Chains A and B, each alone.
Chain A
Amino acid sequence: MNKLRTYPRSLFWKLYYACLVVSLILDFFWLYTHVFHYHFAFQYLPQFFALLGLFGCMLLILIAKGMGVIIVVDEDYYEKKIGRSN
């Protein structure tokens, strides 16, 4: 129990790719057999949630990195800027 182990990498990747493929197939299958009940029309687009996940995630990182140009500063920013008074 107390043995030192590293994390199960290969198992994770096998599982992950399996899920990825299965989710892509299931989406097409269930969409065309009318299993889904959504509220908005755009949710019925094929692979909508896959695209939202992938591009939403990447867009999020990109926009944040853009914001970071202005708001990311050195660790001791406030100490330098206002010194002990703060």
Chain B
Amino acid sequence: MNSWVHPGLVICIGGFLIPFIPWRRVKQAYFIALPLAGLAIMVSTSMGLFGAIPPWPAALHKWNIPFLHYTLDIVRINKLSILFGYVYVIAAFCMNIYALRAKNDWEHVAAMIYVGSALGAVFAGDLFTLFFCLEIMSWAPFFILLFRGTKKASRAAIRYILWHHFSGVCILAGILIHVHQTGSIEFAHMPWGWGGNYLGSNLMLLGFVVNAATVPFHSWLADTYSEASPGGSIYMTAFTTKTAVFCLITTFAGVPLLLWMGVISAMFAVFMAVLENDGRRLLSYHIISQVGYMVAGVGIGTEMAINGAVAHAFCHIIYKALLYMGVGCVLLIVGTTKFDRLGGLYKYMPLSFWMTMIGAFSISGFPLFSGFVSKTMTIEASELAHLPIVYLLLEGASIGTFLHTGLKLPWNVWLQGMDEPPAEIRAKLNDSAFNTPVHMLIAMGILSLLCLFLGLYPSVLYELLPYPVEFVPYTVTRVFSITQLFIFSFLGFWLLRKWLRGHPTYVLDTDWLVRITGGLFIKFCKVPLIAFGSYLDKQIVTITDTFIVNIRNPSIEARLTPMAIGFGVLVSLLLLSVFLFFKM
């Protein structure tokens, strides 16, 4: 039997070699081939090359390593993990094509470690391995942000890592309490409830929820994803939040708290996106919103809802990468994604417009596009569970998604009723309809085709889902209701489009509390605390000075002979022993 190699390890270690390849073409080819190696391993695993499935390959047993009193189960493959694994490597392949010409090779290294550790997390069979991979995953985007080289990005990197330290510490504490209580390190479904007995589970849940950017712990996402380089940010869109969704599905399926957190996220993020002036921040809010659907699906917890959440995660990674790529092209070429400075780009970048529109129709859940086959599953699950309020809120979030990603974003960036972009933007464009670099168009083209393919042939995706699917997406009722919903949403948009124009503003989010309190604390440390410290310092110095001056009195100094000192010590010891004797 052939021995199995961990695809995450291949990608991680392979990534480290990128900067040491001297030939540019070879380096680029190697960079693109790396995720394909991971894909090849996974395809051959699913085909049963390493052992019959199910049960999953026996060849994996050598990946069990003793650690303390436990045995680490580094690899555990099941239907759920292999599905996430597939979409991670497929997305990474397209992302690598897109980010081919990044200036800094180390950005590629960080990206590959990110992909590799995400694969490690979804294949983890025990909690320690999971925690280890999640920790690596939280550092990789930190470096992606740092390598952009701007001051804003490095500050965002620090904020990013602080949030993820918080979630990491919560997860670790939760794991330790859980292991202490149960003695098991298995990464599996956990009991959940309120109260002290469930402290471990609740801490883990909190950590996962922060990683999944669920309201009210979502603000790090919009804050930091929009600061990375055009090539770096697309990696960030895919892995952290979806791995957190994977963890939630594995451990906390059916927790009612998650249902409401998810629904509120889906809706809240949509409101924030109305006010947003930056294209990438707008898309970041839609990650929060779409992950809200998944978290809500996990919260409903029925087989159909879990299937919906997984399918949506799969489609989401693909269309969100596509959308970020579309806006990334604009950022790369004209240097901004602020709506108040853009408009009329259609003439110069039509292909990226159309491909972004495919992503936008997918995220909105338009029939024939990928979001339709996955999002409707979660919505249908809410209908079958008789949750009319959840249903209405999820439909409302769908309207909002279409309104922003399908209408506001392309309108403000590419159209705005202008035939020509503003003068300072026009100056950066060539007289050509192909301002976007070819490799970027190829990457977006592949993802667009995938979006359409999944929308047209959902059965391919449905077969990969963890539970058997009896759901038929294309019914007259569903296709008609969604289409009519969007046709009339457009009318609403058109009537109020003036209100959705960009203005040079910034939208405050829940991180205001943390950032302002943190800032005030640092200011407090810098000014009053330092002043108080130096005041104390001065007083002590004055007291010691007086003391020294007094003992320097020549008459005292003359009497300080060794004998006198010895006598003094003796007397003090005597007094101390008398004191201790009576004290006892």
Q: Which A residues are within 8 Å of any B CB, using their own CB?
A: 1-7, 16, 19-20, 23, 26-27, 30, 35-40, 42-43, 47, 49-58, 60-61, 63-65, 67-68, 70-78, 81-83, 85-86
- Expressed in whole angstroms, the Cα–Cα distance for A77 and B299 within the complex equals 37
Q: Residues of A contacting B516 with CB < 8 Å?
A: 81-82
* CB contact between A3 and one of B383, B396, B433 (< 8 Å): that residue: B433
Contact of B486 with A53 in the complex, beta carbons under 8 Å: yes
* CB contact between A86 and one of B477, B486, B505, B519 (< 8 Å): that residue: B519
Shortest distance from the beta carbon of B145 to any chain A beta carbon, whole Å: 15
Contact of A57 with B274 in the complex, beta carbons under 8 Å: no
Interface status of B314 (Cβ within 8 A of chain A): no
Contact of B488 with A57 in the complex, beta carbons under 8 Å: yes
- Expressed in whole angstroms, the Cα–Cα distance for A85 and B518 within the complex equals 9
- Expressed in whole angstroms, the Cα–Cα distance for A23 and B391 within the complex equals 22
Given A71-B275, A77-B506: A53 and B348 interface contact (C-beta under 8 Å): no
Q: Which B residues are within 8 Å of any A CB, using their own CB?
A: 155, 270-272, 274-275, 346-348, 350, 383-384, 386, 388, 391, 395-396, 399-400, 403, 414-415, 419, 431-434, 475-477, 480-493, 495-496, 499-500, 504-509, 515-516, 518-520, 522-523, 526
Shortest distance from the beta carbon of B51 to any chain A beta carbon, whole Å: 43
Q: Which 4 A-B pairs have the closest CB atoms?
A: A57-B492, A82-B519, A53-B488, A64-B274
Shortest distance from the beta carbon of B226 to any chain A beta carbon, whole Å: 13
Contact of A68 with B275 in the complex, beta carbons under 8 Å: yes
Shortest distance from the beta carbon of B295 to any chain A beta carbon, whole Å: 21
Shortest distance from the beta carbon of B348 to any chain A beta carbon, whole Å: 7
Given A38-B477, A72-B507, A82-B519: A54 and B383 interface contact (C-beta under 8 Å): no
Minimum CB distance partner of A71 in chain B: B508
Query: Which of A57, A64, A73: most chain B Cβ within 10 A?
Result: A57
- Expressed in whole angstroms, the Cα–Cα distance for A86 and B511 within the complex equals 13
Minimum CB distance partner of B274 in chain A: A64
- Expressed in whole angstroms, the Cα–Cα distance for A60 and B155 within the complex equals 33
Contact of B487 with A60 in the complex, beta carbons under 8 Å: no
Given A16-B490, A57-B493: A4 and B480 interface contact (C-beta under 8 Å): no
Q: Residues of A contacting B477 with CB < 8 Å?
A: 35-38
* CB contact between A81 and one of B487, B495, B505, B519 (< 8 Å): that residue: B519
Q: Residues of B contacting A5 with CB < 8 Å?
A: 347, 350, 433
Shortest distance from the beta carbon of A24 to any chain B beta carbon, whole Å: 8
Given A3-B433, A72-B275: 16 more A-B contacts, CB < 8 Å: A2-B432, A6-B347, A20-B488, A38-B477, A53-B491, A54-B492, A56-B399, A61-B500, A64-B274, A65-B499, A67-B271, A71-B275, A71-B509, A74-B506, A75-B505, A83-B519
Contact of A30 with B476 in the complex, beta carbons under 8 Å: yes
Contact of B484 with A55 in the complex, beta carbons under 8 Å: no
- Expressed in whole angstroms, the Cα–Cα distance for A40 and B519 within the complex equals 50
Given A39-B384, A50-B488: A64 and B275 interface contact (C-beta under 8 Å): yes
Shortest distance from the beta carbon of B527 to any chain A beta carbon, whole Å: 11
Shortest distance from the beta carbon of A34 to any chain B beta carbon, whole Å: 11
Contact of B274 with A86 in the complex, beta carbons under 8 Å: no
* CB contact between B515 and one of A7, A16, A54, A86 (< 8 Å): that residue: A86
Given A54-B489, A61-B500, A78-B515: A73 and B508 interface contact (C-beta under 8 Å): yes
Q: Residues of A contacting B419 with CB < 8 Å?
A: 6
Given A40-B391, A71-B507, A74-B505: A4 and B519 interface contact (C-beta under 8 Å): no
Minimum CB distance partner of B404 in chain A: A60
* CB contact between A19 and one of B414, B487, B507 (< 8 Å): that residue: B487
Contact of A37 with B475 in the complex, beta carbons under 8 Å: yes
